[in-house]
Structure 1
Amino acid sequence: MKCNYRFACLMLLSIGSAGSSLAALVATIDTDLAPITDPAVPAHTPHTPPNPPFNPSSTDLLTGLSPTLVNPDASLYTRELAGGAGVLNDGSITTVYPEGGPGGDAIDHAPYATLGENELVIWDLGGKFNLTSAVVYGGWNDGGRDQTFFGFDVSSDGVNFTQLIALNANAAHNAPISHRLEITNDAGLYIATGVTHVRLDPGGVENGYTGYTEVDVFGVRVPEPSTFALLALAGVSLLVRKLR
């Protein structure tokens, strides 16, 4: 048995410190349910949700970045031998089912980071960007932590964050499940501007913590003031040549 379903909600939010105007943000939630555990299926059978829409990126703005964990105890992100916060931008969401067999949780939970309340993950983008979209993948390989609640926050200085949107992908399936939650602007505009840092806030959690498998952020770099000055200088030089 496998199912895939989606819904979208429209929210009019002020972006705050990372932007200057109201934006119509759309949250689209896709959920994929892996086949129900079958005794005939070998343990650790790989399951990758079908593409599209489950197509994580390995070329987005977070690729190659090391996240900052607000809670200094990094082991909290590896409960039940989960892979830790580093899996959140490795470009993969492959999970396994059913549980058990040699290796146990070290295999079953390797694709996940386990985040509890107040265990924030922050990425420094290394410059200012106008964000076009963000995608967060969550889930778990059994029914114990298959709900996904989180806030997606942005900052223009790395200190003061504004919650761009809060999402809840509820679930009631006793089977491996994957959620894909995408944030876009319905008018094709940016979801936030002048962003230097993004933050994943797990918010409410199920049974103490929740599993996440990937965070992708897309956008374009904002040119530095010096770049604008050079462009202006080049324009003036061109105009002077034409007038000669």
Structure 2
Amino acid sequence: MTSYDLSGRKALVTGAAQGLGAGMASALAAAGAAVAVADINDELGHETVEKLRSGGATAEFVHLDVRDDAGWESATASVVAAFGGLDIVVNNAGIEVTDLLIDFDAEAASTLLSVNVLGTALGIKHSFRTMRPGGSAGAGGSVVNIASVAATIAFPGIALYSASKSGIDRLTRVAAAESGKLGYGVRVNCIYPGLTPTAMGNKLAVETAALGLFESPEAAAGAVAELTPLGRLGQVDDMADAVVFLSSDAAKFITGAGLPVDGGMGM
């Protein structure tokens, strides 16, 4: 029977200085992986690394703007040099902009699409280059992209964010097909997290209420819970556990899949 043991694996998680990313990094480390915390926030990133190390994990910080092609090349090379390989990449880094379509700012939308879609695409690119046969790691591996329940439902106020997360879903499936067809040995999957009360999730509740879509942030969160068959918001460990599963040998015959971790909200 297979397990979720990741002992000996080497992982890189983007946007891992805080929120969902930090939770995913912690869960991967608890399963036995060495973890590189990649983020643009150096201070919080180093704090997260110290927390992981204090729990006995092997962890390093890597400064990375996921929109930077050369930055990705440097980051993956640094992880391989530090850990002796790279087996798992979690493309978690992302931003959210709340606005009505009639009012959205083109510059803010361009930044969102660049971080969420281009950043994920570059993560896939450099994961493949590193993990495929002949790459600096060269033993195959797993890529887990973080989409959102927003890719599967029509929630007002987040049209551009929803579009970006739908794009991540399509990137995942095409990447899985290319990896399989070209013999890279890299599985590529994504998860669709439900609303989680992280800083980003709380910001969404506040901003949708400010747009007049809900009476208050509490009402916004309550509306999401009412739309969720399990009757609650998601928790960081719900999402982190799904990432560990998809990174493990328990998912060794799963690729090109989108796993809802949303309490049934998107069904």
TM-score above 0.5: no
Larger Rg over CA atoms: 1
Bigger proportion of residues as helix: 2
The normalised TM-score by structure 2 is: 0.28
The normalised TM-score by structure 1 is: 0.30
Q: Which has the higher contact order (CA 8 A, sep 6+)?
A: 1
